[in-house]
A = this chain, B = another copy of it.
Amino acid sequence: MIKTGIIEGAGFTGGELIRLLLNHPDVHLIFITGRGNSGQYIHEVHRGLYGETELRFSDEPQLDKIDLLFLCTDIEESRQFMQRTDIPENLKIIDFSREYRLKSDEKFIYGLPELNRRAICKSQYVAVPGNFATCITLGLLPLAKNLMLNDDIYVHAIIGSTGTVGLKPSSMTHFSWRDNNVCIYKPFVHQHLPEIHESLSQLQTSFHSDIHFIPYRGNFTRGIFSTIMIKNKVSLDELTQLYIDYYAEDSFTHITPDNIDLKQVVNTNKCLIHLEKHGDMLLITSCIDNLLKGSSGQAVHNMNLLFNLEETTGLNLKATAY
């Protein structure tokens, strides 16, 4: 059994991680901290867990008692934790924040298994990719691998309410406002663009094109659905084959010949990708569940790799479907 602890498990990603780990056959949850929730039962905060655990939020991480630590912290908190904490030599760490995703952070590996599986298996520290970054990068990796990213890329992606912001209520998360509403935010400057660029450059060093990215806020709770356009003269059949080849070894990313819709992946760790061409324009549709493949599911996937488990362990989740 892998003994694990969680720092700041009271938020969206922390809750999803706990829900996964409680049902994971090889994991023992030792402690979960939650600022401001110390002493409360986990199921008082994550109410769907009633009847599944009697664990409580604790004050103090007991790093010497665990094999693996999940940091469900934001960028500032993760940096401070890594700097100020006396970290046991063999402790493995999986960090959810943006702090260690870029290459300059040599101790951390970027935890996108479809890009870095072998390196992850041998590493100690993993940075979990961003949710938008996961969905969009997976839609483009096979093109990068084949050096086909040589023109402007246009990306639109719509995300649910659990992806853009925390549990902390705000006017943007108010049901009365968001129900039946749509808007965009941070056009062209979303914070995940640097990691997308870096992942693509890892496979195609010549990649310097612009990514024109417009994120939409949708009136649903879970999921990211993205459409990506780039000019490409290769035939659809050949391109589809490149994608199938690229993801041949991957358990969660599938190329489908049919149109896709968001609910096919909600509550699963899958990424579905569909390709179409219209003249020279290639359209890539890609979708994931932001809390699973885009966050906590990918974290568990990385854990499985770090500890040499079958990579799908604990991640064969029943889709909600409706």
- As for how many copies of this chain the complex holds, the number is 4
Q: Shortest beta-carbon distance, A159 to chain B, in Å?
A: 10
CB distance from A88 to the nearest CB of B (A): 30
CB distance from A16 to the nearest CB of B (A): 7
For chain A, which range describes its interface: under 10, 10 to 19, 20 to 34, or 35 or more residues? Answer: 35 or more
Query: Which residues of chain A (216-271) have a CB below 8 Å from chain B?
Result: 216, 218-223, 225, 227, 229, 252, 254, 256, 258-268, 270
Q: Which residues of B contact A214 (CB under 8 A)?
A: 156, 227, 229, 283
Contact check, A318 vs B317: say whether CB atoms are below 8 A apart: yes
Q: How far does the Cβ of A285 sit from chain B's closest Cβ, in whole Å?
A: 7
Asked whether, in the complex, the Cβ of B182 is within 8 Å of the Cβ of A223, the reply is: yes
A113-128 residues at the B interface, CB under 8 angstroms: none
CB distance from A222 to the nearest CB of B (A): 6
Whether B183 pairs with A261 at a CB distance below 8 angstroms is yes
- Min CB distance A275 to B, Å, is 11
The 7 A-B residue pairs with the shortest CB-CB distance, nearest first, are A169-B169, A48-B319, A183-B261, A188-B278, A180-B220, A175-B178, A156-B156
